[in-house]
Amino acid sequence: MTLQQQIRSNRLRSTIVVFGFVLLLLLLAGLVGFAFDLSLGIVALIGAAIYGVFALIRHRSIVARLTHASEVDPEAIRPLRRLVENVSIAAGLPKTPEVRIVEDPAPNAYAAGLRPESSYIGVTTGLLATMPQRELEAVLAHEVAHIRNRDTYLMTIALIFAGVIALIADIGFRSLVWGGGRSRRGGIIVLIAAIVGFLLAPYAALLLRLSLSRRREFLADASAAEILNDPEAMALALRRLERDTTQIAYADASTAHLWVESPTDKVDSERRGVLAMTSLFNTHPPIESRIAALEEAGGFRLPEALPSDEPFGRELGLV
């Protein structure tokens, strides 16, 4: 699959996802209306629409808040910005993405934004403290590849819609708990259907989102190798991420698919506890198979020992 095909398929999938979510939304709102009151269903729908539009406009800061990323003075992270600039030039991005810092000891990174021109990359302080320059560049190239391949577009849309679905399901579920007795169309079957629907909706949203994520990780790895002309750097970076056992502090199912390495793999912290099952649906393919794919494409074998070069963060005065 070439890059252009991937970009086109991402656009097509985005359209499908949007329609899928709208359908799910209507279904859910219908359920709310049916179980309680038509007006409540309409209110929920309007609420969801407003939230959705708001989220689309404010998606940058919403994702930043969810991932605890903060904007920093560009001067303070100049060497890091330079790396991002170089990688974006090599990738042919129209504009260099902003860099935001996540105060977290676990090494990880993500990219977010609807358009390449308005995207940004979030990196954790842990990533800067562990990765030497060569591997850090590979991670940045992976994120830049996500932006160039329009993966972030799709993922950001999916994230927003999953949030909307969760909101509606929440409204329905609360009404069920607090006002279930007053339901006019009472029937026990309707009630059970409603409960099942409200419980399943977030799952459906999650599944839709996960169906987007896994193959693109392989493609982003391959793109990163191509951008830097150095597949070994990407493989080394992945191996280092794998060996590191620090867990990202606020691993959250809603943003898991954004990161370079799945932040939720090692814990079962899940939103609302209801979603403990999601470990079955990992957002990322196992790191081992990602490394194997790079080794095969690049024709090399990764040595057992990782290079003990200086971490890049030292240059920034972080370590």
Minimum CB separation of residue 293 from other proteins in Å reads: 5
Q: For residue 55, state whether it binds other proteins (rule: CB under 8 A).
A: no
Which is the catalytic residue, given 137, 143, 232, 270? 143
Per CB under 8 A, 3 contacts other proteins: yes
90 contacts other proteins (rule: CB under 8 A) = yes
Quick check: 288 binds other proteins (CB under 8 A)? no
Nearer to other proteins, 139 or 164 (CB): 139
Stretch that binds other proteins, among 51-59, 78-86, 186-194, 203-211 (CB under 8 A): 78-86
Pairing of strands 98-102, 120-124: parallel
Q: Write the DSSP string, the chain.
A: --HHHHHHHHHHHHHHHHHHHHHHHHHHHHHHHHHT-HHHHHHHHHHHHHHHHHHHHTHHHHHHHHTTEEE--TTTTHHHHHHHHHHHHHHT-SSPPEEEEE--SS--EEEE-SSGGG-EEEEEHHHHHH-BHHHHHHHHHHHHHHHHTTHHHHHHHHHHHHHHHHHHHHHHHHHHHHHGGG-TT--HHHHHHHHHHHHHHHHHHHHHHHHHHHHHHHHHHHHHHHHHT-HHHHHHHHHHHHH--PPPTT--TTTGGGBSS-TTTT----TTTGGGGGGGS-SS--HHHHHHHHHHHHT----SSPP-PPBGGGTTT--
Q: Is 89 near other proteins (CB under 8 A)?
A: yes
Among 97, 298, 311, 313, binds other proteins (CB under 8 A): 298
Active site residue 143: yes
Could you tell me if 255 and 63 are in contact, meaning their C-beta atoms sit under 8 angstroms apart?
A: yes
Q: How far apart are the first and last CA of the chain?
A: 41
Q: Does position 222 bind other proteins by CB under 8 A?
A: yes
Please report how close the Cβ of residue 11 comes to other proteins at its closest, in angstroms. 15
| Residue 227 found at the interface with other proteins (CB under 8 A) | yes
301 belongs to the binding site for other proteins (CB under 8 A): no
Stretch that binds other proteins, among 87-95, 119-127, 179-187, 203-211 (CB under 8 A): 87-95
Q: Which residues pair with 98 in a beta bridge?
A: 120
* Nearer to other proteins (CB atom), residue 103 or residue 288: 288
**Quick one: 4 or 39, whose CB is closer to other proteins?**
4
* Interacting residue with other proteins among 17, 111, 112, 219 (CB under 8 A): 219
Nearest-approach distance from CB 8 to other proteins, in angstroms: 12
By the rule CB under 8 A, 135 interacts with other proteins = no
Asked if 145 touches other proteins (CB under 8 A), the answer is no
The CA distance from 288 to 221, in Å, is 13
* CB nearer other proteins, residue 221 or residue 270: 221
Residue from 73, 184, 229, 308 binding other proteins (CB under 8 A): 229
Examine residue 92 and tell whether it contacts other proteins (CB under 8 A): yes
- Cα 58–chain centre separation: 16
| Positions marked catalytic | 143
Binding site residues, other proteins, CB under 8 A:
1-3, 82, 85-87, 89-92, 215, 218-219, 221-223, 225-229, 231, 293-294, 296-298
